[in-house]
Structure 1
Amino acid sequence: MTEPTALADRSTGPELNAGQLAAVQRRTIAILAVGQILGGISFGATVSLGAILAARISGDDALSGLATASITLGTALTAVPLAALARRRGRRPALATGMLVALAGVGLVITAVALAMFPLLLAGFVLIGAGQAANLQSRFAAADLATDASRARDLSLVVWATTIGAVLGPNLVGPGELLGDLVGMPELTGPYLFTIIGQLAGIALYLVALRPDPLLTAHQVIAARSATSDEITHVDRPRAAAFATVAIVGAHVVMVSIMAMTPIHLVHHGATLTVVGLTLSLHIAGMYALSPVFGILADRWGRVPTILLGYAILAACVAVIALAQHSTAAVTVALVLLGVGWSAATVAGAALLTESSAETLRTRRQGRNDFWMSLIGALGAIGAGSALGWAGFNGLALLALPVLVVVVLLSPLGRRAS
């Protein structure tokens, strides 16, 4: 199945030369990075309150985890439709639509809190997941016009921008609550004012500034060059693409499973909430702050070697937890390694998935990748609770080893695309 020929974006104009394409790519990266910051602020404020609102509205602390689970489910459910929209209409409407659906979800959440309706609250969180799906798609949008020499680096710069939003978002909860009180919003929903502002700004940014559309421009270049450009066109390598998805999903499920249970483990061993917060902050920094480093490494060393480096770092995380789970300092180090390993595997894996897929299949595979990444990550987080109960924190970490081993054994499939 080929891409629709009616993809020509009126904003792309005539065919661009190499210098113009490079300028468009630089502009695209900058816009996507700003969009990631806005999305991160919106999502950070949302997640910070989700569990609290779920527990308060339901009246049962045991149901608090359903907030994050609902957001993750929404991300999985909307990843493929948003990728299909991008394939038909371009990245601009796809990214804006994801944020628009998330904005509707915020409205539902505020309404649900006002009416104390738990099912409506969860429905709102499912819709908010579309915003996270759009954020995930942004990293692939950064690769649409990238060359082989800079694809991972360009992608990683957009991932890095998430750091700013992820740090700012949770810190806006306090000011947001004060602002919400001033305008008469339901209790604990004031921070969603920043979410609304961030989502509206992101929608406007993508619709107005993301021109020419990177995906439609790539299609235009491919058509004009009769699919002969080494910079844009690639022979399809389905096995390598499948390995890339397995590597990304594997790293994600290991990261989510261990990270989700770390606060409980630390509290049970006497850590204060301040220490827990610091540990998670360092973990998030590990996830995003070093992504440009791994982007550069993936461009210079190759995608698969960088993925394997990430898996080696994940194995180091498992080893630290297995040997020193009772040490708060050691667990903090392990969480940093967990984030860094995830970053290396995800950045290099996304670059490999993009360039090992023919353009006619690329966005479809990207959407499926994000679907499986979100769905299996959610299942891993849910299963991690049971695993912690019967195997302990070190046992939970050791359960990650089979995942790491399988991906390493499959790595020769990925090398065929390097």
Structure 2
Amino acid sequence: MTARNGAPATRDIPEQRRVLAVLVLAQLLSGAGLAAGITVGALLAEEMLGSTGLAGVPSGLFTAGAAFGAAGIGRICRRWGRRPGLALGYATGALGSLGVVVAATSGSVPLLFLSLLVYGAGTATNLMARYAGADLASPARRGRAVSTVLFATTLGAVAGPNLVEVTGELALSWGVPRLAGPFLLATAAFGAAAVVLAALLRPDPLRLAQALARPAMPAGPPAPAAGEERRPATGPYRRGVVGGTAVVLVGQLVMISVMTMTPVHMQAHGHDTGAAGLVIALHVGAMFLPSPLTGLLVDRLGRRWVAAACGPVLLAAGVLAATAPPHSVALLATALVLLGLGWNFGLVSGTAMVTDALPPERRAPVQGLVDVGIALAGAAGSLASGLVVMLGGYPALALAGGLLALTVVPLAVWAVPQSGKS
């Protein structure tokens, strides 16, 4: 980020405040749309397909849809800016949510699968909005800008799972299956977010960042701020892109795998959808609620340390989930809270690493590809999770995920070599 005269910026420009305010409003609305797929997607598939082994299919489908959505949104943002890309992504997610409701009502499995793919565009957009928050942020505040957008998702994302019973009753009153109720909420949530962004996200943060950066591009990227690791002087900072992406992907794979099968695991041991909704609500809260603190740590302590901490936290989550008695909602909830926290560490630090490494004119397409990878990692974890649980049980899935998460420690160290304060 540069100042209007081409000099390196040390503070956010005035437009950043308005951009963040609009993004926060959109995320408050859209967060509720995430709850549908996370909380009842697996249960809806189990009910319609009659197989626990296929319960991970919905999460796999909407995360695969998120991959296509992220790629498309990245291209649209590159050509026309963040506003049309994000607004169209949310509108597509609303259409997919409505399709799931129709599929559940008519009992059409093919329509369910197609609609879940389309629904994935909404979940991809919710995550990709964090990049818009970073476009106009100074390097010293980039982590906090990303975390502000993620934090805004908390209210809707936490409220959504706790509205499973309410939306289920509403759905029944309209002649719609109970488990399709949260997708009614997702239709309204994603639709409202699309309207807010289309109407209010002005100026477009990516377009403005590109315009401000052009005079200073020959001078290279800005010097690292206090607490920010120094990047290698050679090449386009590939380590930051590759390492940051890898940290995010591992965190996503582990988190999605364990999270997807937790409601199924709980239901198999006699817990109702209300208890599963509470656990998922606490999990989703831990995914987003710590974001302001995580962003501050990323900016003050450095990207590499927060990224490295992601691994041990996810390991602790996996061990606790694997060893918790199935009847203990408290211990399962604690494990899922740690799972969300570890994911948050990896996402905020990895996003900052990737954004640091890219000039504004290259951000949108590369960031879109990063989120394609995130979605594919989630899809792989979702599709595999049901089979792993069917063959080895939920504890095996949780423990394997925790051990895999430890790979982020060397990745983080490699991605940002220590030089000076880090």
* TM-score of the two chains, using structure 2 as the length reference: 0.84
Task: Give the letter for the 1:293 counterpart.
Answer: L
Match of 1:293 in 2: 293
Match of 1:341 in 2: 342
Task: Give the letter for the 2:250 counterpart.
Answer: G
Say which SS state the counterpart of residue 143 (structure 1) adopts. helix
Match of 2:160 in 1: 169
Which has the larger displacement, 293-302 or 229-238?
229-238
Which has the larger displacement, 131-140 or 395-404?
395-404
Match of 2:199 in 1: 208
Deviation at 1:349, TM superposition (A): 0.9
Residues 398/239 of structure 1: CA separation in 2 closer, same or farther (3 Å cut): same
Task: Give the letter for the 2:296 counterpart.
Answer: I
Say which SS state the counterpart of residue 134 (structure 2) adopts. coil
**8 Å Cα contact 2:157-2:285 kept in structure 1:** no
Which has the larger displacement, 376-385 or 101-110?
101-110
Q: Deviations for 1:27-65, whole angstroms, at most 9, x for unmatched residues? A: 111211111121112332465554455455556676554
Report which structure shows greater RCO (CA 8 Å, sep ≥6): 2
Deviation at 1:297, TM superposition (A): 0.3
Match of 2:17 in 1: 26
Q: What fraction of aligned residue pairs are identical, expressed as a percent?
A: 33
Q: Deviations for 1:224-269, whole angstroms, at most 9, x for unmatched residues? A: 4445485599972112210111101111111122222333444555
**8 Å Cα contact 1:238-1:356 kept in structure 2:** yes
Say which SS state the counterpart of residue 339 (structure 1) adopts. helix
State the distance in 2 between where 1:179 and 1:391 align: 37
Residues 111/156 of structure 1: CA separation in 2 closer, same or farther (3 Å cut): same
| 5+ residue gaps, structure 1 | 1-13
1:229-268 matched pairs, under 5 angstroms: 236-267=236-267
Match of 2:228 in 1: none
Residues 333/204 of structure 1: CA separation in 2 closer, same or farther (3 Å cut): closer
Say yes or no: does 1:302 pair with 2:302: yes
State the distance in 2 between where 1:194 and 1:392 align: 32
Which has the larger displacement, 381-390 or 15-24?
15-24
State the distance in 1 between where 2:191 and 2:405 align: 40
Say which SS state the counterpart of residue 416 (structure 1) adopts. coil
State the distance in 2 between where 1:133 and 1:145 align: 21
RMSD of Structure 2 on Structure 1 (CA): 3.2
Match of 1:3 in 2: none
State the distance in 2 between where 1:46 and 1:396 align: 20
Match of 1:283 in 2: 283
1:3-402 matched pairs, under 5 angstroms: 22-45=13-36, 48-51=39-42, 53-54=44-45, 63-176=54-167, 186-188=176-178, 192-228=183-219, 236-267=236-267, 274-321=274-321, 328=328, 329-400=330-401, 402=403
Task: Give the letter for the 1:308 counterpart.
Answer: A
Residues 259/52 of structure 1: CA separation in 2 closer, same or farther (3 Å cut): closer
Residues 363/186 of structure 1: CA separation in 2 closer, same or farther (3 Å cut): same
Residues 38/60 of structure 1: CA separation in 2 closer, same or farther (3 Å cut): same
Deviation at 1:277, TM superposition (A): 3.5
**8 Å Cα contact 2:24-2:152 kept in structure 1:** yes
Deviation at 1:95, TM superposition (A): 0.3
* TM-score of the two chains, using structure 1 as the length reference: 0.85
Residues 16/205 of structure 1: CA separation in 2 closer, same or farther (3 Å cut): farther
Q: Deviations for 1:4-45, whole angstroms, at most 9, x for unmatched residues? A: xxxxxxxxxx98997995321111112111111211123324
